[in-house]
Structure 1
């Protein structure tokens, strides 16, 4: 009983499929087209309900089928369709669904062969009827069977490729995290290893001199204090260096630079998750853009906005400087580097000069919401 409840509770489809497969079930309405002209008998209506009750779970389960299971589901859909051919030309729907089930086949040549086999079975099943009934049965299969099957196969292959790419990206990010931890570990070892060894040595020497030479002991204690302060300063400098890589530090640096140049800042920054690569590109772009505003724009006002639009991080920086046309924009190494970094992530950089320079940088946020 619990198992049945779990099945009924779902999910009935893999999450990556979305809700579109439910929409395609509306195609079964073609089975009811005949009954707009010929009312069904009680027996036929009961068989139709039973057929749909069998097919719908079969169709939903086919999305989880792999390997040879896919061919079994395709054959089952064809057999349901063949059973209805003499009575209802809407049986073509089952063959079209069978073509779409080829999406679960990994290799294209096998997928094409399976779709062709379904069409051949439909042609054989059509021998059970004749005239207009045969035409109404075969026309949908011959016109949309192959396109539907190939479209479903290509969509599934694209989805699998995207999932594989996401897995590799997660592996790369994991390896990058490990490499960064190892680098920090090496840095701390290099920073503190020598200093702590020196402090330990001098502390041992000071302990030995404590009862024999107070002046020498005091000098050693002074050296210990100096070494400890130096080690603390090195650690603070290293930690500051790590923190300066983020977008938060870039924003703080931009505020300080604009304030020092007497440029009024208008800031509108949303908080949202960013992939490390995207954050780095945005931080570098912000630093470069603010540097240009301070050095070259001659501006009195600068606005900075950062937002998320449909999974894309959008950074806009606008000033009221002297740029009035495209000719006033200097395409130096900074802007070229900014553009190249954006392109490397699939983003783009746009520049407009009207009443000052407006910069718009768009990069994929790289983090699922």
Structure 2
């Protein structure tokens, strides 16, 4: 008894599944949206099929056969837009067969052959589409010759099929090319958005990492001075407030995409931050005119280097130099911290150094990191490429 009940439930589920598929097919689009309303407009060519009935009345049997032919044609025609490969070939053969079957009774059956020829455009490969068109035309001509079908049928079937099918094949290929182009464009936009996210992540890391390190350092200093020197403590707290306000302003500019830190501004910030950390800072910047892109990269590199010194190094001295040499500018940032003091020690690149390297490479520059008696960062940037950019 349980087995019978279980089987009934299975049959019921199968019926519901089949019903839902039919309902989805009926309620969904019959023709793929990219074709628009054109496929329904093309069906007006059946006026050729109905033309003989304007001057002679069809019999009841003939009307019934006309209705059945339309009922057979419509599903095949609609399915040809969704099918692929051999399924499309079967649809084409069946529609062409309808036209040939009507040829002895109604020369308007040539419209079925024309539809069969245009359905050849459904094949994705060009050679398959043209081979299908050739088979439809050759098959219609050969069958018409052996069955001695009237010229009113096979001449329109062959002649009108050629431009209709060629136009459909070219249109389909153009549509597929446009579709691929749109997909490529979406992919490019997606990659561009990823690159922009990475750029924002690098910039925010450099901006907030440096500023928060300075705020942390000054807050620790203010805590130590709280009981010993109230005036010095107030000064450090005021510096924390000023640094936080400046960071907020820079974050807003970065979010808006207008952040372009000047080198002179960054030098003052580095001097202030390093002095607070007890690091002596020396800078050597010649009078080379720097393009905005180059100046921004150097400023960000200095910011990242200062952040690393404050966070990870117990350096006592830091030297920064910018020297123009011909068509390029040479930048050096060196400290005498504990990182790289051991011979052969390798430094692990974090987000800051990776971002710095990516920016330098973006302008066709070259960056080197050396661990010897501290950490030394050297990179060169071509001035002419940066100006063109």
Instruction: Using the TM superposition, name which of 24-33 and 154-163 deviates more.
Output: 24-33
What is aligned with 2:123? 105
Residue 180 (1) aligns with residue 196 (2): yes
Pairwise CA distance, 1:243 = 10
Instruction: Provide the C-alpha distance between the structure 1 equivalents of 2:147 and 2:237, rounded to a whole number of angstroms.
Output: 105
5 Å matches for 1:238-317? 238-242=254-258
* Match 2:253 to one of 231, 234, 237: 237
Gaps of 5+ in 2: 1-18, 261-389
What is aligned with 1:192? 208
* Match 2:158 to one of 139, 142, 145: 142
* Match 1:51 to one of 69, 78, 84: 69
* Match 1:17 to one of 8, 14, 35: 35
Pairwise CA distance, 1:42 = 1.2
Pairwise CA distance, 1:10 = 3.4
Contact 2:52 2:106 in 1 (8 A): yes
* Match 1:124 to one of 137, 142, 151: 142
**Structure 1 residues 82 and 243: CA distance shift in structure 2, 3 A:** farther
What is aligned with 2:102? 84
Pairwise CA distance, 1:27 = 1.2
5 Å matches for 1:299-338? none
RMSD between aligned alpha carbons? 2.1
Contact 1:85 1:128 in 2 (8 A): no
User: What secondary structure, in the 3-state scheme, does the structure 2 residue paired with 1:112 have?
Assistant: helix
Contact 1:85 1:125 in 2 (8 A): no
TM-score by length of 1: 0.61
**Structure 1 residues 147 and 230: CA distance shift in structure 2, 3 A:** same
Contact 1:103 1:111 in 2 (8 A): yes
Contact 1:92 1:140 in 2 (8 A): yes
What is aligned with 1:61? 79
Instruction: Provide the C-alpha distance between the structure 2 equivalents of 1:75 and 1:57, rounded to a whole number of angstroms.
Output: 14
Instruction: Using the TM superposition, name which of 2-11 and 185-194 deviates more.
Output: 2-11
Contact 1:30 1:93 in 2 (8 A): yes
5 Å matches for 1:320-359? none
> Which whole-Å deviations, capped at 9, do the CAs of 1:188-245 have from their partners, x for residues lacking one?
222221111010111122223222332332232122122222222322333454499x
**Structure 1 residues 186 and 135: CA distance shift in structure 2, 3 A:** same
Pairwise CA distance, 1:128 = 6.5
What is aligned with 1:70? 88
* Match 1:215 to one of 225, 228, 231: 231
Residue 27 (1) aligns with residue 45 (2): yes
What is aligned with 1:359? none
Contact 2:96 2:112 in 1 (8 A): yes
Instruction: Provide the C-alpha distance between the structure 2 equivalents of 1:28 and 1:106, rounded to a whole number of angstroms.
Output: 27
Instruction: Provide the C-alpha distance between the structure 2 equivalents of 1:48 and 1:129, rounded to a whole number of angstroms.
Output: 22
TM-score by length of 2: 0.58
Contact 2:48 2:108 in 1 (8 A): yes
Instruction: Provide the C-alpha distance between the structure 2 equivalents of 1:126 and 1:80, rounded to a whole number of angstroms.
Output: 14
Gaps of 5+ in 1: 245-369
Instruction: Provide the C-alpha distance between the structure 1 equivalents of 2:63 and 2:123, rounded to a whole number of angstroms.
Output: 34
Instruction: Provide the C-alpha distance between the structure 2 equivalents of 1:229 and 1:182, rounded to a whole number of angstroms.
Output: 25
> Which whole-Å deviations, capped at 9, do the CAs of 1:260-281 have from their partners, x for residues lacking one?
xxxxxxxxxxxxxxxxxxxxxx
Contact 2:222 2:236 in 1 (8 A): yes
What is aligned with 1:329? none
Instruction: Provide the C-alpha distance between the structure 2 equivalents of 1:135 and 1:162, rounded to a whole number of angstroms.
Output: 40
Instruction: Provide the C-alpha distance between the structure 2 equivalents of 1:108 and 1:80, rounded to a whole number of angstroms.
Output: 26
Contact 2:95 2:115 in 1 (8 A): yes
